[in-house]
């Protein structure tokens, strides 16, 4: 006769905390690469880690607010080239990952605070349209 042992329950928010820690570790690889073309590779690795977090966060009940943070960081990263990264930008991204490592729920208000931080640091989170770029003719600019 065998007795089934109860399965250990996953700790609440474990998926988010583990993801946020991986993202934070990846972010910490970036400062020595600032100004070097190697930064582009490290940024792609960070973006890949962000994307991998989707499935884990979707499967975890109550983690939609942190999933929104992941997409916010992705949007910000999509607006910047590797040459535009500075220590200040990395410092502004760090709280997004540190906040995810906290035990307990991550709420919409936490997301909103990070969104406001990005705005206060002038980190774009939506595409920019350069109407004075090299491919705009004088006729186009006049319209």
**Digit-coded pLDDT (tens) for 6-55:** 554 557 689 999 999 999 999 999 999 999 999 999 999 999 999 999 99
Residue 138 has pLDDT above 80, yes or no: no
At which residue do the structure tokens 């090299």 appear?
Answer: 134
Q: Looking at residues 97-104, what average pLDDT do you find?
A: 93
38-59 and 64-78 are packed helices; what angle lies between their axes, rounded to 10 degrees?
Answer: 160
Q: Looking at residues 43-69, what average pLDDT do you find?
A: 92
Here the tokens at position 9 are 């329950």
Q: How far apart, in whole angstroms, are the C-alpha atoms of residue 118 and residue 25?
A: 20
Q: Looking at residues 49-71, what average pLDDT do you find?
A: 91
How many CB atoms within 10 Å of residue 60? 18
Please give the pLDDT value at position 61.
80
Spell out the domain ranges in the chain. 14-124
**Digit-coded pLDDT (tens) for 75-90:** 999 999 999 999 999 9
């Amino acid at each position: 006769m065998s007795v089934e042992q109860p399965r250990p329950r996953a700790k609440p928010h474990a998926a988010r905390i583990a993801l946020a820690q991986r993202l934070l570790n990846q972010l910490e690889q970036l400062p020595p690469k600032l100004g070097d073309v190697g930064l582009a590779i490290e940024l792609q690795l960070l973006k890949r880690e962000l994307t991998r977090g989707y499935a884990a966060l979707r499967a975890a009940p109550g983690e939609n607010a942190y999933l929104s943070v992941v997409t916010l960081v992705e949007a910000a990263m999509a607006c910047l080239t590797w040459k535009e990264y500075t220590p200040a930008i990395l410092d502004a991204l760090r709280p997004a990952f540190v906040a995810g490592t906290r035990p307990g729920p991550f709420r919409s208000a936490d997301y909103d605070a990070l969104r406001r931080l990005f705005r206060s640091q002038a980190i774009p989170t939506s595409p920019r349209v350069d109407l004075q770029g090299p491919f705009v003719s004088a006729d186009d600019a006049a319209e």
